[in-house]
């Protein structure tokens, strides 16, 4: 059972933008459908295009009609619940007059509401270049007063701010952004979205690790040979060439999603499952990740850029031919990185992280490869055939967990080679089979958590800064380096990515099902 969100007004800044249309309205609609919006939930859209309240509601309807994840045709009652009393405020985010108009609208929305329910959730669905202007505007007109948790509890009404990545371009700009935000708001008011943390399967990594007793004793350098984290995509830059040219894969995926996955799989057990304890442990883990510079970067990082190729039988252009991308672009669309966590638990255990666009398959997963069983019972070559135990936490698609181990092939001799035949087999848990239906989309979880005031699945300022401190030298190397190795779209990525892991005597968990079953 999920808790209902608090009574609140959700101010969606960037109300008709791509994110709002594709992700936020569908998520809010589903919350409305599931009865998780509070009785006094009201939506206020802020955007520059000429609309009024009625045409704004119509635009939300259109967005829902074309969105993929509303779970079928739009239910009129849920739509009515979502848009009841919705208001639209038109204006330019750099103009102070907009913030006065917003305050007037908020006062009128809340006029009939008890003081204790005058909660405001501001969602910044806007380009980062506007963040600070908006923060300034909201704060100086008094729309979003600075509060502390104790005061919130005392006065009843809260103001929270949801921010979308990118949180800076590097460690220095991330720190500057945090400082500017913390001048106006307190940390508990800030909800920095990393949508990977909202994915059911990522949350389940914590449940898997800390609600089960059998794996945790093995979760260390004594039993684990290495860990792989893969976020492979088949999509290209999807019309976001301009953004991507500035970002590249390390900023776009590693600084946030991959570092969060690394922290989640490797952190120490927190004392409690709450925002402070979980985030403290993640920060500790990120602090322990070895920093690279100079030659060590070249040994531990491989980059690539997709060239033309085929995805699911369709020809697709190379990155350099995408709109708004320079033909001689040096932006990497693939990276593989080896990191070490220099703490007691993980000393010497490599973590291999890779992510890329236009790869052979869309797969996000964490693979924990255990050490081989002692080979004393089976001589070479049978011993070499024995695969180490492997735990695969599959984040998407086909969400689930698989444990691979050795079994004796029926009928074969148990006695020694050459007849002895072992075969790798799998035990599998599938979300779909056990729980049915689709996992709750990340934005739905995260919006509800922000309405409830649970920041566990949001990135804290020190987490963001630590993640930047890890990737900063890598992005600097990528920015300054030569054009990355080209890989044809629809393949497993550049040879350099395979070589990075092969040097340690390991190989990547295959991306495609066909290769896995081999």
Is residue 257 annotated as a catalytic residue, yes or no?
yes
| Closer by beta carbon to ligand BG6, 250 or else 455 | 250
Q: String of b and e for 359-375 (b: at least 16 CB within 10 Å)?
A: bbbebbbbbbbbeeeee
| Closer by beta carbon to ligand BG6, 5 or else 198 | 198
**458-477 mask for ligand BG6 (x: CB under 6 A)?**
--------------------
Crossing angle for the helix pair 241-249 and 461-480, to the nearest 10 degrees: 100
The active-site residue, picked from 195, 226, 257, 509, is 257
| Closer by beta carbon to ligand BG6, 19 or else 38 | 19
The answer to the question of residue 233 lying near ligand BG6 (CB under 6 A) is: yes
At closest approach, how far in Å is the CB of 235 from ligand BG6?
6
The answer to the question of residue 152 lying near ligand BG6 (CB under 6 A) is: no
* Binders of ligand BG6 in range 350-369 (CB under 6 A): 364
Report how far residue 387's alpha carbon sits from residue 371's, in angstroms, rounded to the nearest whole number.
10
Residues in CB range of 173: below 8 A, 6 or more apart = none
The answer to the question of residue 252 lying near ligand BG6 (CB under 6 A) is: yes
* Binders of ligand BG6 in range 189-218 (CB under 6 A): 195
* Binders of ligand BG6 in range 75-94 (CB under 6 A): none
At closest approach, how far in Å is the CB of 364 from ligand BG6?
6
At closest approach, how far in Å is the CB of 362 from ligand BG6?
8
- As a 3-state breakdown, the chain gives helix, strand, coil percent values, each rounded to 5, of 40, 20, 35
DSSP annotation string for 296-339: HHHHHEEEEEEESEEETTEEE--GGGSTT--TT----SEEEEEE
Angle, CA of 446, 247 and 233, to the nearest 5°: 65
Please, what's the largest Cα pairwise distance for the chain? 84
| Closer by beta carbon to ligand BG6, 170 or else 233 | 233
Among residues 481, 471, 483, the alpha carbon closest in space to that of 304 is found at 483
Report how far residue 27's alpha carbon sits from residue 252's, in angstroms, rounded to the nearest whole number.
23
At closest approach, how far in Å is the CB of 395 from ligand BG6?
8
The answer to the question of residue 281 lying near ligand BG6 (CB under 6 A) is: no
Number of chain positions touching ligand BG6 (CB under 6 A): 5
**296-335 mask for ligand BG6 (x: CB under 6 A)?**
----------------------------------------
At closest approach, how far in Å is the CB of 166 from ligand BG6?
9
| Closer by beta carbon to ligand BG6, 195 or else 394 | 195
DSSP annotation string for 407-453: EEPTTS-SSSTTT--EEEEEEEEEHHHHH-SPPPPHHHHHHHHHHHT
| Per-residue CA distances from 384 to 106, 373, 388 (Å) | 68, 11, 10
Which residue's CB atom is positioned nearest to ligand BG6? 252
| Closer by beta carbon to ligand BG6, 235 or else 425 | 235
Ramachandran assignment for 384, one of left (phi > 0), alpha (psi -120 to 50 degrees), beta (any other): alpha
At closest approach, how far in Å is the CB of 512 from ligand BG6?
17
**23-62 mask for ligand BG6 (x: CB under 6 A)?**
----------------------------------------
Give me the residues that bind ligand BG6 (CB under 6 A), please.
Answer: 195, 233, 235, 252, 364
Q: Which residues are catalytic?
A: 257
């Amino acid at each position: 059972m999920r808790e209902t969100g608090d009574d609140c007004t959700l101010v969606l800044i960037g109300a008709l933008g791509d994110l709002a249309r594709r992700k936020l309205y569908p998520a809010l609609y589903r919350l409305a459908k599931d009865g998780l919006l509070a009785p006094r939930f009201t939506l206020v859209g802020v955007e520059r295009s000429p609309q009024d309240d009625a045409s704004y509601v119509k635009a939300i309807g259109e967005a829902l009609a074309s969105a993929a994840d509303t779970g079928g045709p739009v239910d009129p009652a849920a739509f009515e619940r979502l848009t009841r009393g919705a208001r639209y405020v038109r204006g330019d985010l750099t103009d102070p007059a907009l913030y006065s108009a917003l305050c007037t609208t908020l006062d009128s929305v809340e006029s009939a509401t008890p003081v204790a329910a005058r909660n405001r959730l501001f969602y910044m669905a806007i380009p980062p270049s506007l963040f600070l202007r908006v923060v300034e505007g909201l704060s100086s007109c008094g729309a979003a007063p600075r509060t502390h948790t104790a005061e919130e509890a005392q006065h009843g009404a809260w103001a929270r701010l949801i921010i979308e990545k990118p949180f800076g371009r590097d460690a220095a700009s991330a720190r500057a952004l945090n400082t500017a935000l913390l001048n106006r708001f307190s940390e508990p008011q800030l909800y920095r979205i990393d949508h990977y943390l909202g994915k059911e399967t990522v949350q389940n990594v914590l449940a898997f690790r800390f609600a089960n007793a059998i794996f945790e004793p093995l979760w260390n350098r004594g039993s684990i040979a290495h860990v792989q984290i893969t976020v492979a995509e088949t999509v290209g830059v999807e019309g976001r060439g301009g953004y991507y040219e500035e970002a590249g894969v390390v900023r776009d995926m590693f600084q946030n999603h991959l570092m969060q996955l690394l922290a989640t799989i490797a952190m120490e057990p927190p004392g409690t499952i709450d925002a402070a304890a979980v985030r403290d442990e993640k920060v500790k883990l990120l602090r322990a990740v070895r920093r690279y510079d100079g030659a060590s970067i070249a040994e531990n990082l491989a980059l690539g850029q997709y060239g033309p190729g085929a995805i699911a039988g369709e020809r697709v252009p190379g990155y350099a031919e995408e709109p708004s991308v320079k033909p001689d672009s040096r932006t990497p669309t693939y990276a593989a990185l080896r990191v070490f966590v220099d703490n007691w638990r993980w000393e010497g255990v490599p973590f291999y992280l890779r992510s890329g666009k236009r790869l052979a398959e869309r797969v996000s997963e964490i693979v924990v490869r255990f050490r081989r069983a002692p080979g004393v019972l089976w001589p070479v070559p049978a011993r070499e055939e024995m695969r180490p135990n492997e735990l695969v936490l599959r984040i998407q698609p086909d969400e689930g967990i698989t444990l691979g181990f050795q079994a004796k092939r029926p009928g074969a001799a148990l006695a020694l080679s050459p007849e002895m035949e072992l075969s790798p087999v799998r035990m599998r848990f599938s979300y779909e089979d056990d729980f049915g239906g689709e996992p709750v989309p990340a934005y739905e979880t995260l919006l509800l958590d922000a309405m409830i005031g649970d920041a566990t699945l949001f990135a804290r300022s020190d987490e963001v800064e630590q993640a930047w401190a890890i990737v900063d030298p890598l992005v600097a190397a990528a920015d300054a380096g030569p054009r990355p190795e080209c890989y044809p779209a629809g393949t497993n990525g550049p040879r350099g990515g395979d070589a990075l892991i092969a040097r340690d005597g390991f190989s990547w968990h295959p991306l495609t099902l066909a290769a896995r079953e081999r």
